Amino acid sequence: MAYAHQIHESQPQGMDSTIILDPSLLRAAQRTYRTYCMLHPRNSKRPYGIAIHRKSYRGQLIFRNNPVLLPGECFVPTKQLEVEI
């Protein structure tokens, strides 16, 4: 049995590129992030981003670098939310 050598290009760890999102998704993510910041002002642990469902606009705070998204969800990094707020 022969195996072919596969080359996989890895994405950069930082995910610095800004992704253009639907404005309603961005507003829903901002609302979730703003609510978290208001309820936990002294908490030094900031989320890495928000996982937001495209149809229900339900947002979930993500505290890990490599989020696992469910079907129908997209990821909005905190950096993009702070710029928009």
Q: Is the residue at 5 inside a domain?
A: no
Cα–Cα distance, 8 to 31 (Å, whole number): 37
Query: Does residue 24 have a pLDDT over 70?
Result: yes
The pLDDT-based confidence of 19 (bands split at 50, 70, 90) is low
Contacts of 57 (CB under 8 A, 6+ apart): 24, 25, 28
Q: How many domains does the chain have?
A: 1
Q: Is the residue at 38 inside a domain?
A: yes
Helices (H), the chain: 23-39, 78-84
Cβ neighbours around 30 below 10 Å, total: 19
Task: Write out the residue range of the structural domain in which residue 28 sits.
Answer: 23-84
Q: Is the residue at 63 inside a domain?
A: yes
Q: Is the residue at 11 inside a domain?
A: no
Q: Is the residue at 17 inside a domain?
A: no
Tens-place pLDDT, residues 26-72: 999 999 999 998 998 887 788 999 999 999 999 999 999 888 999 99
Q: Where are the beta strands (DSSP E) in the chain?
A: 49-53, 59-62, 73-77
Identify the residue whose tokens are 């950096």: 79
